[in-house]
Amino acid sequence: MPRSPLLWFKHLTAIIERLGFKPIPEYTCLYTNGRIVIFFYVDNIVIMVHPKYYSDFLNFKAKLMAAYEMRDMGELKWFLGIRVTRDRLRRRIWLSQDSYIRKIYAQYGISLNSRKSPKTPLPSGSLT
């Protein structure tokens, strides 16, 4: 069994913890220092920070980028196939899997304009 994913996880979490972050016990890949929130999946890392702590973010990002060869992809638009849309004025965020839904529609030959629901192959009496 390959051990490299586990080794990467241990190395990344050790660096994050060394930089002053604590894990959120209920969520394996979620860390915070009270000002910044980090979550990741394999090598996709998202960092969230309030503008008030932006200098803390820049300091953390510089240290993380010194530890690893990585790119800053800017504001989060996509994460693991989920589209992220923000309305900063209203302080709202939307997560959408519309691209996945379109993929499933195409896979089963369903038109996006169809008003009919696809038939689900459930055995009769299965919902009683």
Q: Where are the domains of the chain?
A: 4-74, 75-112
pLDDT in tens, 11-68: 999 999 999 999 999 998 999 999 999 999 988 899 999 999 999 999 999 999 999 8
Residue carrying structure tokens 């209203």:
90
pLDDT in tens, 2-23: 578 889 899 999 999 999 999 9
**83 against 3, higher pLDDT:** 83
pLDDT of residue 1: 44
Continuous segment of H or E residues that includes residue 60: helix 54-67
- The first and second tokens of residue 16, run together, are 């994050």
pLDDT of residue 34: 95
pLDDT of residue 124: 62
pLDDT of residue 118: 59
pLDDT of residue 6: 87
d(CA 37, CA 82): 19
Short-list 38, 48, 49, CA closest to 15: 38
- The first and second tokens of residue 32, run together, are 């915070």
